């Protein structure tokens, strides 16, 4: 019997290939936010969550997506950053779940003034300022979420937090290891020690995940001191991330959607309008081509892994 075809996700139109007022500003803001999220320690540990990260990652790709879910389109320079945040939140909400849609609307209720303060602090790398604005926004919006709190709303919020954690781990696997997280998860389940260490480097929740249990349990049984030294280093690993890795992730997203890229000169102006990151057009072209080559290999590895059809049942 043939497996039923899964619904293919529909992603919002990438901002880098858009047009109109505020697009350059939106691109700059998006890259700055991504760079901050990458380097922020334990971003997903702000709330207590239960479950397995490997399951969240697999479910993350099965969730339906909905384009144009922002309540207001990107039209003005005054609201463009807020609209980018709203669209980003929509990626983690299931459009078929009313509670999740409601939570996304609440979380999207950020004022232009709050976003302006947040954006200014990000661009100036003012860490105390960033934390202060984040805390203020979280406290205010948290009170709204708690109003009329129900079991279903708690469950919906937990699902969105889990997807955020999954999305962050997926992004880190792509830019740090140049591997799809699902490839590393499958290899870890089959006993690949390096895959286990790579997963733990991106998120310590993998320490208690079923995908890594086989390798860790076997190391404990064999009293494998060299492995546990490697594991200790993986647990304290601090990834060296920066603007170019955020740019790499955005390019991966463009390649994944299959939308035609604008002329490279135009794309470079969008990504690096002041010419500080790429000194020449040739340097930018080489960067884009390296990203395209890496993305092609990532996709080929994922396709090859899917053909093996590994099963969690292999864990004993």
Q: Using only C-alpha atoms, what is the Rg of the chain?
A: 20
Query: What pLDDT score was predicted for residue 309?
Result: 56
Query: What pLDDT score was predicted for residue 17?
Result: 58
Q: What are phi and psi of 253, to 5 degrees?
A: -60, -40
- pLDDT interval class at 88 (50, 70, 90): confident
Residue 277 lies in a domain: yes
Highest mean pLDDT among 66-75, 193-202, 263-272: 193-202
H helix or E strand, kind and range, residue 308: helix 281-308
**Centroid of chain to Cα 38:** 9
Question: Would you say 244 and 277 are in contact if contact means Cβ atoms under 8 Å apart?
Answer: yes
- pLDDT interval class at 94 (50, 70, 90): confident
Total structural domains within the chain:
1
Residue 5 lies in a domain: no
Range of lowest pLDDT (15-24, 80-89, 239-248): 15-24
Residue 301 lies in a domain: yes
Mean pLDDT of the chain: 79
Domain containing 191 equals: 19-314
Structure-token pair, residue 107: 């979380």
Task: Give the separation between CA 103 and CA 142, rounded to whole angstroms.
Answer: 10
> To 5 degrees, how large is the angle CA 52–CA 95–CA 42?
35
Quick: pLDDT tens for 116-128.
888 888 878 788 8
Name 76's Cβ contacts closer than 8 Å, sequence gap at least 6.
21, 22
pTM, entire model: 0.79
Of all residues in the chain, what percent carry a pLDDT higher than 70? 80
Task: Give the separation between CA 169 and CA 203, rounded to whole angstroms.
Answer: 6
Range of lowest pLDDT (135-144, 179-188, 247-256): 135-144
**Strand runs (DSSP E) across the chain, as ranges?**
none
C-alpha distances in Å from residue 60, one per residue of 152, 167, 306: 19, 7, 16
Residue 10 lies in a domain: no
For 84, counting Cβ atoms within 10 Å of its Cβ (0-12 exposed, 13-18 middle, 19+ buried), the class is buried
Query: pLDDT at residue 3 above 50?
Result: no
For 53, counting Cβ atoms within 10 Å of its Cβ (0-12 exposed, 13-18 middle, 19+ buried), the class is buried
Residue 12 lies in a domain: no
Quick: pLDDT tens for 132-161.
887 888 788 778 877 777 888 888 888 888
C-alpha distances in Å from residue 237, one per residue of 36, 57, 188, 200, 240: 17, 21, 19, 9, 9
C-alpha distances in Å from residue 311, one per residue of 63, 180, 210, 248: 20, 17, 12, 31
Residue 228 lies in a domain: yes
Residue 1 lies in a domain: no
The dihedral sign for the CA sequence 54, 56, 57, 63: positive
Query: What pLDDT score was predicted for residue 74?
Result: 46
Residue 70 lies in a domain: yes
């Amino acid at each position: 019997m043939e497996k039923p075809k899964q619904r293919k996700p529909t992603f919002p139109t990438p901002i880098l290939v858009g047009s109109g007022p505020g697009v350059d500003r939106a691109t700059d803001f998006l890259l700055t936010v991504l760079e901050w999220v990458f380097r922020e320690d334990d971003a997903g540990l702000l709330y207590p969550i239960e479950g397995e990260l490997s399951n969240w990652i697999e479910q993350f790709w099965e969730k339906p997506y909905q384009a144009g879910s922002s309540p207001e389109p990107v039209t003005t320079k005054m609201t463009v950053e807020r609209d980018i945040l709203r669209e980003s939140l929509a990626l983690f909400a299931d459009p078929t779940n009313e509670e999740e849609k409601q939570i996304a609307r609440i979380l999207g209720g950020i004022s232009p003034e709050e976003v302006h303060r947040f954006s200014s602090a990000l661009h100036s790398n003012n860490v105390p300022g960033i934390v202060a604005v984040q805390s203020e926004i979280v406290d205010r919006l948290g009170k709204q979420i708690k109003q009329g709190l129900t079991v279903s709303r708690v469950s919906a919020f937990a699902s969105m937090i889990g997807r955020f954690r999954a999305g962050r781990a997926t992004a880190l696997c792509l830019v740090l290891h140049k591997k799809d997280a699902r490839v590393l998860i499958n290899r870890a389940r089959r006993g690949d020690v390096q895959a286990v260490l790579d997963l733990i480097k991106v998120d310590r929740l993998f320490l208690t995940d079923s995908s890594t249990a086989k390798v860790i349990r076997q190391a404990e049984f064999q009293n494998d001191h060299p492995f546990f030294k490697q594991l200790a280093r993986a647990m304290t690993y601090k990834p060296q991330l920066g603007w170019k890795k955020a740019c790499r992730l955005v390019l991966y997203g463009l390649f994944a959607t299959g939308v035609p890229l604008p002329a490279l000169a135009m794309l470079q102006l969008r990504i690096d309008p002041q010419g500080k990151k790429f000194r020449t057009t040739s340097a930018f072209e080489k960067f884009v081509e390296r990203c395209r080559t890496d993305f092609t290999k990532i996709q080929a590895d994922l396709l090859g892994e899917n053909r093996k059809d590994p099963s969690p049942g292999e864990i004993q």
